[in-house]
Amino acid sequence: MTSVLEPSAPLELPAAPPDPVLRRPRTTQGFWGWITTVDHKRIGIMYGVTAFVFFLFGGFEALLMRLQLAQPNGTLLSADFYNQLFTMHGTTMVFLVVMPISAAFFNYFAPIMIGARDVAFPRLNAFSYWTFLFGAILINSSFLLGGAPNGGWFGYAPNTSITFSPGHNIDFWIFGLQMLGIASTVGAVNFIVTILNLRAPGMGLFKMPVFVWMTLVASFLLLFAMPIITVALFLLMFDRQFGANFFNPAAGGDPVLWQHLFWLFGHPEVYILILPAMGIVSEVLPVFARKPLFGYPVVVFSGIAIGFMGWGVWVHHMFAVGLGPVAVSAFSISTMFIAVPTGVKIFNWLATCWRGSIKLSVPMLFALGFVAMFTIGGLSGVTHSVSPHDRQQTDTYYVVAHFHYVLFGGALFGIMAGIYYWWPKVFGHLLSERIGKVHFWLWFAGFNITFAPFHILGLEGMPRRIYTYDDDLGFDYWNMVSTVGSFVIAAAVLVFLYNVWHSRRHAVPAGPDPWDGRTLEWTIPSPTPAYNFAEVPEVHEIDDFWHRKYGEDDQGRMVKLTPPDTEGSLDVHRDDVHLPSPSYFPMVASFGLLIIAYSMIYRNYAVAVLGALVMLGGIYAWGLEPSSEPHDDHGHDDGGGATSHDPDDDGGHKGVEPADAPDAALGVNSGTAEQVTTT
Amino acid sequence: MSAVDTTVHSDGHGHVTNTGVSNEKVAMWAFLGSECLLFGALISTYLLYRGKSVSGPREPADIFDIPFTSVSSFVLLMSSLTMVLALAAIQRRDEPRLRLWLLATALLGATFIAGQIYEFTAFVKEGLTISTNVFGSSFFVLTGFHGVHVTLGIVMLLSLWSLSARGKLPPEKSETVEIAGLYWHFVDVVWIVIFTVIYLIP
C-alpha cells in the first residue's frame, strides 16, 4: 500500500526548505515510515496493536488476581500488590484497551466509511496516538519505579491524597490519565470535524453507517467528559503537590466533590466504551443476516439519546454516599429511563436478525454473543437502579459481575466481532473461520464461567477489592470456578493469537468484498490503498454499496445486479493523489508532554519547563511545516480529501512556504485528478 | 463537483466541507465546547466551597480590592475590541493595522496578567495562599487556570504577529486570525463569568 507514494515523493525538490533541526521525513517505508506516519490507517493499526499489547498486560494482571483468590487465605500476592493489580487492571482495560481499540476502529474505518481520504487533521491524529502511547508507558513504568497506582481506577480522594498515599503511585496515575485525556480530547475533536466535514458527496448525516454515528456520539461524549476528569485530576494534583485543600476535610474540603467530578466523567465514559461496540454490531448483524438494519433512524436516535441521558445518571455510582432520598430517587428514575434506548437497540438488533438468512460466521457469532451477554449486563445494571437493592450490592462482587458483563460481554465481544469482520480489509486476508470458532466458544464459555459466579458471590456478600478471604465464609467454590474460567479466557486469547499467525502464514487474498458487505469500505481493494478511494464515491442510499449490488424485480424480490458497477474502479492504481506528508513533530510535541509528566511526578519543575519548551518547539515546527510537501494549494477540491488542511490545533501560526514548487513534481494537480483516466 | 449532492459547500477559502465551515473553525468550536466543561467544573468547585473555609480569610470582601480587579477586567474586555479590529484589518487587507491591533491585543492581555500577578502577590502577603483554606485553593486554581489560558492566547497572538511581520500571514489567511479571535473572545467571556462569580456575587 505504500508503494503508491514513492513516485510522488521525489528526493530533490527545489522548493523543500532546508530544515535546520530535522529534515522532513520522506519515506513511508519501514520503521521510520511508521514512526512518522500521518496515515489514518497506519495510526489505526498502531492503536490496535498497542491496545492489544496492553490487553495482554491487563489480562495477565487479572490472572494474577484470580490465582490469589482461587483459594481462601491466598498467599501469592501481598495486600499492597493486590491493590496495585486491581487498580492497574481497571485503568488498563478502560483507558489502554477498550478506548484505544475503539480509536483504532474510528481511525481506520470512520474516514473510509464516509468516503474520505484521511481524517481532517492527520498530524493531530499522530499526536493523539503518540500521546496515548507515552501516557500508557508512563503509567505502566510505575511498576518498575517504586510501585504502581493503588487507589482503584476511580482514585477516590482523600484516600489518594498525600496523607494516605504518600508514594509516587498516585502521581503516576494522575499524570498518565492527564496524558490519555489529552490524547482522547484531541482525537475527539479530530473525529467530530472529520465526520461533520469530510463526508463524500451524497453522504448526508442520515445516510452514514451506524458505526460512524456511534463514533460521532462517542467523540462528543469524550469531548465533554474528559475536561471534567482533567479538572478532578488537577485538583488532586494541587492537593498532593502544592498543599491545596480541595479534598482535605480538616480544612473544609469535601470528599464527595471528587466522587461527583469523577462519576460525572465516569458515567459518560461507560457509554464511550460501549457505543463503538454497539456501532460495530450494528454493522455486522445486517451483513450476516443479509437484511438492512431494522429501524436505522431509531438505532441512531437511541444512540444520541444515550449520549444525552448518559449525563444524568452518574449519582447511581454514589447511592451509598448518603445524598438524601430526593437525589437518590431522581437518579434511580433516570437510571431506569436510560435502559429504554438501550433496550430499543437490542430489539432492533433482534428484529434485524428476524427472518434473515443468517450466516454464522465468526464475526456474527461475536456479534450475537454481544447482544446476549450485553443484555445480561444491562439487566443487572437495571437492578442497580433500584436503590435499596443497590445499597445492598454496593462494593460487592455483584457490581463486578455487572460491569464485566457490559465491558467484556459487551465492549470486548463487539470489538472481537469488529476484528474478525474488518481483518480482511486491513490485512488483505481473512482470519481462519475454523480457529475463529474455537476462539469464540472458548471465549464465550470462559467469560461466563469467570464472571457469572461473581453474581452469586456478590449476593452472598463477598466484598470487592479484598486480597483474600477466610475459608469459613462460603466463598471458596465459586472463586475456584471463576479462576478456572479466567484461564479458559486466557486460552481463548492464545487461540486468537494462533489464528492471527496461522491465517497470515496461509493467507489467501480475501478480495475487496469477502462478506458481501453493505458499506463503502468494501468497495475498495484489500488492503486499503494509501489514498483509500481511487475516485471519491457518490452516495445515494443508506448501505449504498448493497444497493449498487442488489435491486428488486417486479415482484419486489431481491435480485443481484450484474455486473456491479463498482468492479471497474478496483483495477485503478492511482499514484497522483495528493496525500499529507509524514512528520516527526507530532511525536516531538508528545514527547515534550512525557517529559513534563515525569518531571511533575518527581517534583522537578525546572525539567518540566524544559519539557514545555520541547513541546512548544514541536508545535511551532509543526505549525510552520506545510501539511503536504511540497506545499501547494491543490487537494482542497477533491471532496473527500483532507489533503492539505493544516492541522493547527491552536488556530494560531500557520506559516506556509510560498507555493513555488511546481505541481509537476507530483505529476498532476489533484484539482484535475478527478478526471484522471481510470483504466 | 457533484450532481447528486446538496450538502457540500465551499467555505470561500478553497476548502470544500459538508458544513460549509472550514475544518479549523469547526475544530476550534469543538475545542471551546470542551473548554466550557473545564471551566464549568472549576467554577462549580469554587461555588461549592464558598463560605466553607474554617480558617483564614473566608469572605471575598475580606481581602479583595474590587475596584482594582474591575479595572483589569475592563482592560481584558477592551482586548476583545482590539481583536475584532485586528480581524477587520486583515479582512480589508490592511496588514500594518493587523499587526498593530494584534500587538495591542497582546499588550492588553499582558496588562491583565500583570494585574493578576500583582493581585496574587498582594493576597499572599495578606495571608491567603493556595493552602490557607478551601477559599484560597479554589480561588487560586480557578483564576490561575484562566490566567494560563490568557497567557497561551498572548503566545498565539505574538506568533501571528511574527508570522505577519515575516509576510507569512497574507489576507487570504484571515481565517487564522478569526480562529485565534474565537479563542480570545472565549477566554474573555469566561472571565466575565468568573469575575461575576468571585467578585460581584455577595
CA distance A173 to B17: 40
Give contacts of A261 with chain B, Cβ < 8 Å. 41, 45
- According to the model, what pLDDT value does residue A21 have? 52
Mean pLDDT lowest among A246-250, A413-417, B7-11: B7-11
Q: What's the rounded mean pLDDT across residues A226-241?
A: 97
Contact with chain B for residue A146, Cβ under 8 A:
no
Instruction: List all residues of chain A from 242 to 301 with a beta carbon under 8 Å from chain B.
Output: 242-246, 250-254, 257, 261, 264
Matching residue, cell 483589569:
B72
Look at A653 and B173 and tell me if their CB atoms are within 8 Å: no
The answer, yes or no, to whether the previous bond of A158 is cis (omega within 30 of 0) is yes
Give contacts of B144 with chain A, Cβ < 8 Å. none
Mean pLDDT of chain A: 87
Domains, chain A, ranges and CATH?
37-534 (1.20.210.10)
pLDDT band at A457 (very low <50, low <70, confident <90, very high): very high
Give contacts of B168 with chain A, Cβ < 8 Å. 655-656
Q: What's the rounded mean pLDDT across residues A527-555?
A: 88
Look at A190 and B17 and tell me if their CB atoms are within 8 Å: no
The three three-digit cell numbers of residue A336, written as one number: 431506569
- According to the model, what pLDDT value does residue A293 have? 95
Give contacts of A651 with chain B, Cβ < 8 Å. 24, 27-28, 156, 176, 179-180, 182-183
Nearest partner of A236 among A227, A246, A226, judged by Cα:
A246
Contact with chain B for residue A208, Cβ under 8 A:
no
CA distance B13 to B21: 10
Cα-only R_g, chain A: 26
CA distance A629 to A641: 16
Matching residue, cell 511526578:
A601
**Are the C-beta atoms of B34 and A227 separated by less than 8 Å?**
yes
Q: What's the rounded mean pLDDT across residues A267-274?
A: 96
- According to the model, what pLDDT value does residue A8 have? 39
- According to the model, what pLDDT value does residue A172 have? 97
Look at A652 and B156 and tell me if their CB atoms are within 8 Å: yes
Look at A636 and B15 and tell me if their CB atoms are within 8 Å: yes
Q: What's the rounded mean pLDDT across residues A39-66?
A: 97
Which is it for strands B9-10 and B16-17: parallel, antiparallel or unpaired? antiparallel
Q: Which residues pair with B16 in a beta bridge?
A: B10
Q: Which helix (H) or strand (E) holds B54?
A: none
Q: What is the 3-state secondary structure (H, E, C) of A536-583?
A: CCCCCCCCHHHHHHEEECCCCCEEECCCCCCHHHHHCCCCCCCCCCCC
Question: Which residue of chain B comes nearest to A195, CA vs CA?
Answer: B18
Expressed in angstroms, the distance from the first to the final Cα of chain A is: 19
Helix (H, G, I), strand (E, B) or coil at A217: helix
CA distance A564 to A550: 8
Report the Cα A343 to chain-centroid distance in Å: 23
Nearest partner of A494 among A551, A450, A435, A549, judged by Cα:
A435
Helix (H, G, I), strand (E, B) or coil at B27: helix
**Are the C-beta atoms of A593 and A134 separated by less than 8 Å?**
yes
**Are the C-beta atoms of B55 and A251 separated by less than 8 Å?**
yes
CA distance A472 to A645: 66
Tens-digit pLDDT profile for residues A130-171: 999 999 999 999 999 989 999 999 999 999 999 999 999 999
pLDDT band at B56 (very low <50, low <70, confident <90, very high): confident
Look at B23 and A121 and tell me if their CB atoms are within 8 Å: yes
Expressed in angstroms, the distance from the first to the final Cα of chain B is: 60
Give contacts of A182 with chain B, Cβ < 8 Å. none
Tens-digit pLDDT profile for residues A555-588: 878 888 876 555 455 666 777 777 888 899 999 9
Domain ranges across chain B: 9-200
Q: Which helix (H) or strand (E) holds B10?
A: strand B9-10
Look at A655 and B16 and tell me if their CB atoms are within 8 Å: no
The whole-angstrom distance between A438's CA and the closest CA on chain B is 44
The three three-digit cell numbers of residue A628, written as one number: 503536504
Question: Which residue of chain B comes nearest to A245, CA vs CA?
Answer: B134
Nearest CB to A202 within list B5, B129, B160? B5
Look at B34 and A189 and tell me if their CB atoms are within 8 Å: yes
Contact with chain B for residue A437, Cβ under 8 A:
no
In degrees, to the nearest 5, what angle opens at C-alpha A93 toward C-alphas A154 and A602? 60
- According to the model, what pLDDT value does residue A641 have? 36
Mean pLDDT of chain B: 90
CA distance A116 to A104: 16
- According to the model, what pLDDT value does residue A630 have? 59
Annotate A8-49 with DSSP letters as a single string: G--S--TTPPPPSS-PPP---SHHHHHHT---HHHHHHHHHH
Nearest CB to A246 within list B16, B45, B162? B45
Contact with chain B for residue A323, Cβ under 8 A:
no
Between helix B23-48 and helix A169-197 the angle, nearest 10°, is 140
The whole-angstrom distance between A223's CA and the closest CA on chain B is 5
Look at A192 and B21 and tell me if their CB atoms are within 8 Å: no
Helix (H, G, I), strand (E, B) or coil at A463: strand
Nearest partner of A582 among A36, A14, A10, A16, judged by Cα:
A36
**Are the C-beta atoms of A240 and A248 separated by less than 8 Å?**
no
CA distance A556 to A541: 18
Helix segments in A625-664, DSSP class H: none
Instruction: List all residues of chain A from 218 to 247 with a beta carbon under 8 Å from chain B.
Output: 223-228, 230-232, 234-235, 238-239, 242-246
- According to the model, what pLDDT value does residue B64 have? 81
| B167 Cβ contact list (under 8 Å, min separation 6) | none
| Count of Cβ atoms closer than 10 Å to residue A535 Cβ | 19
DSSP code at position A146: T
pLDDT at A517 > cutoff 80:
yes
Nearest partner of B191 among B159, B125, B147, B141, judged by Cα:
B147
CA distance A621 to A625: 6
pLDDT band at B51 (very low <50, low <70, confident <90, very high): confident
Look at A192 and B26 and tell me if their CB atoms are within 8 Å: yes
Phi and psi dihedrals of A361, rounded to 5? -75, 170
pLDDT at A670 > cutoff 90:
no
The whole-angstrom distance between B172's CA and the closest CA on chain A is 12
Q: Which helix (H) or strand (E) holds B20?
A: none
Which is it for strands A558-560 and B9-10: parallel, antiparallel or unpaired? unpaired
Decide which of B145 and B12 is more confident: B145
Question: How long is chain B?
Answer: 202
The whole-angstrom distance between A36's CA and the closest CA on chain B is 22
pLDDT at A608 > cutoff 60:
yes
Amino acid at the residue A558:
M
Positive/negative CA dihedral, B84, A644, A594, A191: positive
**Are the C-beta atoms of B139 and A238 separated by less than 8 Å?**
no
pLDDT at B62 > cutoff 60:
yes
The three three-digit cell numbers of residue A371, written as one number: 447482544
Q: Quick one: what percent of chain A has pLDDT higher than 70? A: 87
Nearest CB to A637 within list B16, B130, B134? B16
- According to the model, what pLDDT value does residue A668 have? 31
Question: Which residue of chain A comes nearest to B1, CA vs CA?
Answer: A639
The three three-digit cell numbers of residue A324, written as one number: 438524601
- According to the model, what pLDDT value does residue A570 have? 62
Instruction: List all residues of chain A from 608 to 667 with a beta carbon under 8 Å from chain B.
Output: 620, 623, 633, 636-637, 639, 642, 645-646, 648-656
Give contacts of A208 with chain B, Cβ < 8 Å. none
pLDDT at B90 > cutoff 70:
yes
CA distance A278 to A289: 16
Global pTM value: 0.89
Q: Quick one: what percent of chain A has pLDDT higher than 90? A: 78
Please tell me whether the interface predicted TM-score (ipTM) of this complex is above 0.90: yes
Give contacts of A191 with chain B, Cβ < 8 Å. none
| B24 Cβ contact list (under 8 Å, min separation 6) | A645, A646, A648, A651, B175, B176, B179
Give contacts of A266 with chain B, Cβ < 8 Å. none
Q: Is B9-200 assigned to CATH 1.20.120.80? A: yes
The answer, yes or no, to whether the previous bond of B60 is cis (omega within 30 of 0) is no
Look at A196 and B168 and tell me if their CB atoms are within 8 Å: no
Amino acid at the residue A284:
V
